[in-house]
Structure 1
Amino acid sequence: MNMQKIFALRKHVVGGLALLAVVACGLFAYRSFSAGASKPQSDSLVLVVPDNLAAESRIYAQAWEDAAEEEGVRLRTITASEFVRHGIDGGRPFSGIILPDTIHRSMTTAFVNKIRQFADEGGAVMQIYDAGILNENGFYEKGPSRMSTLAGVPYGFYATMGDRMAYQATVSGLSHDMVDLNIPPGRWIAKGGRAVLSGYGEASLRYSVMHTGKQYDGRVLMQADDGSIIAGERKVGKGSVLFVNLPLGYLKLRTDGVLLHGFMHYFANLMLEQPRLSAAPEGIGGLVLNWHCDAKICIDATDSLIKDGVFKRGPFSFHITAGPDQRQFNDGRGVDLAHNVEFSNVVRELMRDGHQIGSHGGWIHDWFGVNVNEDNQATMETYLQKNADAIRDLTGKPQTEYSAPTGNQPKWATRWLDEQGVKAYYFTGNIGQGPTRTYRDGRRDEHIWSFPVQTYGEYSTIEEAYMANIPESEIAAWLTSLAEFTASTGEIRLIYFHPPGAVRYLRAIDALLETADREQASQRFRWRTMTEVADFAQRRERTVWRLTSDKNDVLVFAENQDSLDQLTWLFPEDRYAMPRVESGQGRVSKQGSNWLVTAAPGKKLVIAAALRVGGAS
């Protein structure tokens, strides 16, 4: 990800704010939203966008909708006027609303007052960055933003600070807050008792935020290095407000989506305690371990790992650069898969053990990674095809997963892979996320799933850590914490190694595997391949499900024309009694603080769960 684009948001926010969204909401009477967040509702979480949302801004709403689907959250998009009208004819109120950044800057005073009333009477509001910072005429307030009273902290000081209202800041929280936001260890690094957000190549990231006051009467989730409030949750009347001083939608569209996903998870699942559809088969989290074999030195290292018993675990995703060269033409440093009978047999044995064999780029690893770009598809596509053909010739089937040398993946390469039927690729953007549909320059991947690599601060490979003299014990602690994170959250994440680097940190690898063994024995962890997860994600995406209520029960109706097998719904235990399968086949279990309802093979399922008396609101 190009962080310069994120830094440019400051100018984007305070310079040419041209999008005006004048909401005609004073024309309608308003019925009480007293049902609030504590009552079961159908489709009760909504994204509220301007009435006159421009066509080119629709992609921002789509990014939120996609994130909700990937997080297993029921979300729909409505306009501001629809939000105001709801309830006039006895319609269903909402328990939670999201006010997105970038596309909903301009709001009428009447609409802002309705939002306040919604919170006062029991609703939950997720208020993002610059939402509502402009009035209906497209101007800033003379003092702090009108939205400051909802947020619980003054911000939006354009009248006094001008262009200095927004600035770039290091962002941190406490480690348990990062866990609540589903941000894995490594995407944050412990410094001075704080968990500081980091990224690939950046020990501490700097984000565009707004100056705020320093006093806050709620739970602070994140702060800037100068004490400005970056995220917090507070009570407002009978309801609550989650304020996030980060441009979440803007970031997701520029390959940094972990924060949008994390805060949506927090809002829907921890604050509203809604049932959700797990992203993992059977609700069991785990890791995708992606091996990159790109040179001749990989062969002996792979043998060493096999002897150490590493490949008795898994299944793993094992990707190969198949050509005879590595750094440049005719250097003879490559794997030369087609002519290396001994190593070909090793790869076939890995296949028989259940590991998935994929393609690692374009025939000559370093040369391809350095030289491929957006303008040379006609030349470089040939090398992608040569590598894919070599993998197919060995495995007997087309490639289904891919990793880019040096992480260099032009947009045309992703389109080419999608056209070839490749299901998944590893990606150096969206660090910290699970499998996702990636957005780049206003375009979303169509069918193919990206698997963001996990990093330890600024490092993603063991070789990088080795060159930086990171102690093996430190890497071991990170890897084991990742396994524990996926086990405790039910999330799926990808890590990757090169065999020669793994051999140098073999004790760290062994510590990871032992932790995974222990969690797997407790039915909390599974190794996955990229292909397996992508197949499941594709089938999960075709699932149609909805929430409704009947007396004191929340009902989930689900249908999939292929099969619901292994799809799992989670119900927070402190809000719901033990769920019941009313129709179809499924099993009920408990893991951590959630009830799990896992579907058996079948196309339809109905689940009922009674709200506990006095349950969380």
Structure 2
Amino acid sequence: MKRLFKAIPGRAWVVLIALLLLGGLAALYQASLKTGSAIVLLVPDETALTRPVTQAWLDAASEEGLSVVAMTDDAFLRYGGDRRSIAGVILPDTVHPQASELLVNQLHSYVKDGGHLFITFDAALLDTQNGHYAAAQSRLSGLAGVSYAMYEALKDKTTALGPVYGSRDHEKTLSFQPGKLDFKTSARLPLGELTTYGYPRLNYSHFRTGAPQGATAMLLSEQGDTIVSKHTYGQGTVLFANLPLGYLKTRTDAYLLHRLLSYFATDLLQQPHLSPVPDAIGGLVLNLHVDSNAAHQPLLGLERAGWLQQQGPFSIHVTAGPDTYLEGDGLGMNLNTNPEMQAFLKRQVAQGHEVGNHGGWSHNVFGLGANDGNRDRFEPFLALNHTSVSAATGAVPRSYSAPMGNQPRWATEWLRREGFKGYYFTGDNGLGPTRSFDQGRRADPSALWAFPISSYLRVATFEELGDEDSNVTTEDMANYLGNLTRYVTDQRVARLFYFHPPAATEHLATLDVLMAEARRLGLLERFRWYTMEQLADFMSRRELAQWQITRADGRSGGLTARSSASLDQISWVFPKGGTPVFKIVKGEATVRQDGPNWIVTARGAGQELELAWE
């Protein structure tokens, strides 16, 4: 079987992290298992901890606020697959293609006795002796309720490449974001085709499958192969994903990994999770890209109309140089010698808006010209823009968006070095703030977060509505923005939408839909506007929180949380079961009901919180 990617040599920080993980791994999962709340990511041995795909799975779990710990096969076998000690088991792609018969048998017993298993793609496909296909089909086919990896019968047709489709019902079940499934032009109507920004079609490698045998297919291929399914096996449940989810995250396509991981943990296992937004109140980052002097008058018009004063804060990113399309064309904002725009930006900072950098001084020159091989020429453009915006506003920018989405690796390194906290990102479409990967390599640890754009099908902003191939109308976009606002509210997450001010004059009615829905939900204290810097600071502080859920029996339990920073506004979301009586043992917190959930939110500057309930 072909390897999905060549292993990338670990750098010093990766080795250091791996050594720390190895030293504390056993103690970590033993402590977690005693609470009865841990989901384990099953890895073949300790060396797998340094693999990028393992890190991708653990990053996704952390960003989704889930309690997931790595466990080796040997440790799992020693525990005997005891479902009383393990909330659920994840068998990841790419890093776990080989598995012994003993492990495969133990997984069957674990699920049969009531355990919950998440199987992905090539996990446990090969034997441990020769690395060959271990059977005529995957040995986990019975657990998944669908035959797959049928190499003996299909040979070089064992895998296929193509789009992924889902129904309206399963879009809702899996809590897909509005606009991810295309129900307008799909080749398999009434099923919707999974989409992303900037690509006509998303084609995924997957195994050909047989018809489901007792499993419920939730996502399908163009040929009808099962891509995602749920299956009851004995007293347990199996979620099967016929895609290399972890590998895809290392290639900046992490949406399905995050969504399915969250579905497994919160919907199937009914596990609590750490909210990714302050006070567990969802919202949007509205990112205005000021490319050139064409935005000058539209920005002033938005201000005169009261649009910038009534709501927000927003993230306004400015390309500051004198040129736009060609050096010397004079079509840029020319911020250094533009007192009217300097005064405008100062007013926005005073209003509470965030003013950041839109790249490199000359929008299209940088956007079309910068690449990994010409750092010496274009990195000075970043510095020029940074200096200009800082001088104009009196505040040092800490957020960034790349002109035309063009972000060479050195640009990200420059942002990290200069202390930036967030940047607009065209990869990982549909996620909230995330730790991005670049060509299979995770970024160095820092306070810098990627903010992926959210798009309606393949369209991300107003100017693209007129594209011949978009097939998206103004009405579609208005409906999408209303739906997206309700989605982030209901799911208690944050997403980013961006536009260019010149388009505002043509799409005021569409923006009004967004603003009206945001205002309505804001008055209910269920929606907020966020800036990149606000959310990045929160996410970095959230990462420091160490927490544990204890369950003494089926009804009583507790939450223990500690951090080296304040826990203020950090929230935990619990599936609502009955009407528990909460008691704050240590620290300060509030408890509220929100639909089918309880929300526990830490308050004050304290670094510890203990909560009990029965």
Name the TM-score, length of structure 1 as normaliser.
0.90
Q: 1:45 aligns with which of 26, 35, 39?
A: 39
Q: Which residue in the other structure is 2:576 paired with?
A: 573
Distance of 1:271 and 1:554 partners within structure 2:
20
Structure 2 residue 80 is matched with structure 1 residue 83: no
Q: CA deviation at 1:503?
A: 2.1
1:589 alignment counterpart: 592
Select 1:488's aligned residue among 487, 490, 510.
Answer: 490
2:523 matches 1:526: no
SS at match of 2:373: coil
Contact in 1 for aligned 2:37/2:549 (Cα 8 Å): yes
Contact 1:143-1:157 at 8 Å conserved across structures: yes
2:146–2:215: 8 Å Cα contact kept in structure 1?
no
- Correspondences of 1:261-300 after superposition (within 5 Å): 261-300=258-297
Query: How many residues are matched?
Result: 577
Shift of residue 583, structure 1, vs aligned partner: 2.0
Structure 2 residue aligned with 1:434: 432
- Listed as ranges, the matches of 1:420-431 within 5 Å are 420-431=418-429
Closer/same/farther in 2, CA of residues 348 and 255 from structure 1, 3 Å limit: same
User: How many angstroms apart in 1 are the aligned matches of 2:387 and 2:458?
Assistant: 34
Aligned Cα root-mean-square deviation (Å): 2.1
**Which amino acid in 2 is paired with 1:605?**
L
Gaps of 5+ in 1: 1-9, 18-38, 611-617
Q: Per-residue displacement from partner, 1:177-201 (whole Å, max 9, x unpaired)?
A: 3344343112222242323210112
Instruction: State the Cα distance separating 1:42 from its structure 2 match.
Output: 4.0
Question: SS state of the match for residue 304, structure 1?
Answer: helix
In the alignment, does 2:214 pair up with 1:217?
yes
Give the alignment partner of residue 552 of structure 2, picking from 527, 550, 553.
Answer: 550
Aligned to 2:459: 459
- Aligned with 1:302: secondary structure? helix
Distance in 2 (alpha carbons) for counterparts of 1:537 and 1:493: 13
Aligned residues of 2:83 and 2:115 also touching (Cα < 8 A): no
Question: Which of 404, 423, 440 is equivalent to 1:406?
Answer: 404
The 3 A distance-change label for structure 1 pair 585 and 52 is: closer
Residue type at the aligned position of 2:266 = N
CA distance, structure 2, for counterparts of residue 119 and residue 590 of structure 1 = 33
- After TM superposition, give the deviation of residue 40 of structure 1 in Å: 9.1
Please state whether the residue corresponding to 2:344 is helix, strand or coil. Answer: helix
In structure 2, the residue matched to 1:608 is 612
Q: Aligned to 2:505, what secondary structure does the other structure show?
A: helix
Q: Which residue identity does 1:373 align to in structure 2?
A: N
The answer as to whether partners of 1:182 and 1:265 remain within 8 angstroms in 2 is: no
Asked if 1 retains the 8 angstrom alpha-carbon contact of 2:357 and 2:399, the reply is yes
- Paired position in structure 1 for 2:157: 164
* Sequence identity percentage: 38
2:342–2:393: 8 Å Cα contact kept in structure 1?
no
Q: Does structure 2 retain, via aligned residues, the 8 Å contact 1:578–1:595? A: no
Report the more deviating stretch, 572-581 or 498-507.
Answer: 572-581
| Alpha-carbon distance in structure 1 between the residues aligned to 2:175 and 2:536 | 20
Q: CA deviation at 1:581?
A: 2.6
Q: Does 1:349 align with 2:358?
A: no
Quickly say closer, same or farther: Cα 1:91–1:291, change in 2 above 3 A.
Answer: closer
Please give the secondary structure, in 1, of the residue aligned with 2:51.
helix
Give the partner amino acid of 2:57: W
Q: CA deviation at 1:442?
A: 3.3
Task: Indicate the SS of the match to 2:161.
Answer: strand
- SS at 1:413's partner residue? helix
- What stretches of structure 2 of length at least 5 have no aligned partner? 8-32
Cα distance in 2 for partners of 1:174, 1:338 equals: 53
Which residue identity lines up with residue 599 of structure 1 in the other structure?
A: A
Q: Are residues 1:511 and 2:513 paired?
A: yes
Q: Are residues 335 and 179 of structure 1, via their aligned partners in 2, closer, same or farther at CA, if it must alter by over 3 Å?
A: farther
Residue 25 of structure 1 corresponds to: none
Structure 1 position 502, deviation (Å): 2.5
Matched to 1:231, the amino acid is: V
Range with greater deviation from structure 2 (180-189 or 524-533)? 180-189
Verify the 8 A CA contact 1:183 1:432 in the aligned structure 2: no
CA distance in 2, matches of 1:220, 1:154: 12
Distance 1:208 1:74, change over 3 A: same
Amino acid aligned to 1:570: V
In structure 2, the residue matched to 1:615 is none
**Equivalences for 1:54-73 in 2 at 5 Å?**
58-73=51-66
Paired residue for 1:127?
A: 119
Tell me what 2:181 maps to: 188
1:114 aligns with 2:122: no
Contact 2:588 2:602 in 1 (8 A): yes
